[in-house]
Amino acid sequence: MPEENIAHIDFDSLNKRAISQPLVTHLYTADPSAHVFNGKIYIYPSHDVESTVPFDDLGSHFAMEDYHVLSMDSPDSEAVDNGIALQVKDVPWADKQMWAPDAAEKDGTYYLFFPAKAHDGIFRIGVATSPSPVGPFTPQPQAIEGSFSIDPAVYKNDDGSYYMYFGGIWGGQLQRWSSGEFKAEGEGPLIYLPQDNEPALCAKVAKLSDDLLQFAEAPKDILITDEDGNPLLAGDTSRRFFEASWMHRYNGNYYFSYSTGDTHFICYAIGDNPYGPFKYTGRILNPVIGWTSHHSICEFNNKWYLFYHDSSLSKGATHLRSVKITELTYDENGHIQTITPYNP
């Protein structure tokens, strides 16, 4: 919800009606990627900070500089801030804007995957490692070769292979890569978006190398189709992909979920393999207070949970968000029940 539309909101009342409260209040956190490692929940969010950069459609005011890792013994327990896990100044190739990260574990090593703008102004995706799920993490000297855009989400398949899903339009620069090479700004930052009657831009997926430090293949498109098997169109803004990829599996099916960005929904589509195609199925989360919506889904003790954020604690400041958690449920057909973040 844009800032100009929130002036009338009574935030004290809104916070009382919220279905969940911020996990931490001493700092602003967003874009939560949640995982269960060794029987404990670990959340890898971005860390929102005050910024003097004016609001724009490219998200320039999201000027995050480091990552903190939150941990919880259970979904009902207090969230612990484990301190700074990685800072932009420690990443040789990165200049600024450490946006939404994710993490994975393999053979006792923990991997933090993160986007940042390189010194040439192009978003790349990097990797940092640690023997501990809370860090500190040591970054690789270079970004992943062939990486671009934002919002990495890494999924471990049942066969032990790992896949990275990524991409975001507008400030995430995905539209600048439509030709396979980065295009300069040209006549405007959104000039390379497809027309409304053309297929929407796709998120990307790439299988990772055995050491999880590189792509094992060239990134492929994640195709989301309508009920007739046709690609969603760019003008279908309430269903098409914008950013915030996530993958999980339920009852043998692959659930690709994502944010619709400027229409503020978290949606999902179902497929039968990690590459798709994925058939649009429905909405997971209705709009929250704040312009962005970003999430993750994980299972803990045979229950499923949605991790998300809103800007209620900061009274609507779009760049100062707070991570939350709520239970997620499926119906008998495997469809996710849509969640409304505030009670009437």
Active-site hit among 48, 102, 151, 243? 243
Mean pLDDT of the chain: 95
- What pLDDT, on the 0 to 100 scale, is given for residue 6? 66
How far is CA 54 from its chain centroid? Answer: 23
- What pLDDT, on the 0 to 100 scale, is given for residue 55? 74
- pLDDT at 2 exceeding the cut of 60: no
- pLDDT at 138 exceeding the cut of 90: yes
pLDDT mean over 304-322: 95
- pLDDT at 113 exceeding the cut of 60: yes
**Contact in structure between 41 and 298 (CB atoms under 8 Å):** yes
Residues ≥6 apart with Cβ < 8 Å to 209: 215, 216
* Choice among 1-10, 105-114, 117-126, 310-319 with the minimum mean pLDDT: 1-10
Sheet holding 40-48: strands in order across? 28-37, 40-48, 66-72, 80-87
**Contact in structure between 163 and 154 (CB atoms under 8 Å):** yes
In the three-class reduction of DSSP (H, G, I as helix; E, B as strand; rest coil), residue 247 is classed as strand
pLDDT digits (tens, 9 = 90+) for 50-100: 887 777 777 778 889 999 999 999 999 999 999 999 999 999 999 999 999
Superfamily of chain region 3-328: Glycosyl hydrolase domain; family 43 (2.115.10.20)
Distance from C-alpha of 115 to C-alpha of 151, rounded to nearest angstrom? 7
- pLDDT at 319 exceeding the cut of 50: yes
Residue 234: which pLDDT band, with cuts at 50, 70 and 90?
A: very high
Helix H or strand E segment including 16: helix 11-17
pLDDT mean over 202-223: 98
- What pLDDT, on the 0 to 100 scale, is given for residue 58? 78
pLDDT mean over 140-146: 98
- What pLDDT, on the 0 to 100 scale, is given for residue 1? 45
- What pLDDT, on the 0 to 100 scale, is given for residue 190? 83
- What pLDDT, on the 0 to 100 scale, is given for residue 7? 64
- What pLDDT, on the 0 to 100 scale, is given for residue 50? 86
Q: Give the predicted TM-score (pTM) of the model.
A: 0.96
* Choice among 2-11, 19-28, 82-91 with the minimum mean pLDDT: 2-11
Strand pairing class (102-106; 94-96): unpaired
- pLDDT at 292 exceeding the cut of 90: yes
Report which residue type is found at 223.
L
What 280-284 contacts at long range (C-beta under 8 Å, 24+ apart), as own/partner pairs, is: 280/224, 280/225, 280/226, 280/227, 280/232, 280/239, 281/335, 281/336, 282/335, 282/336, 282/338, 283/338, 284/257, 284/328, 284/336, 284/338, 284/339
- What pLDDT, on the 0 to 100 scale, is given for residue 52? 77
- What pLDDT, on the 0 to 100 scale, is given for residue 260? 98
The angle formed by the CA atoms of residues 148, 152 and 153, to the nearest 5 degrees, is 150
- What pLDDT, on the 0 to 100 scale, is given for residue 187? 65
Active site residue 332: no
Active site residue 31: yes
* Choice among 27-36, 106-115, 161-170, 175-184 with the minimum mean pLDDT: 175-184
Q: What percent of the chain has pLDDT over 70?
A: 97
- What pLDDT, on the 0 to 100 scale, is given for residue 131? 98
DSSP-assigned letter for residue 102: E
pLDDT digits (tens, 9 = 90+) for 156-188: 999 999 999 999 999 999 999 988 899 987 767
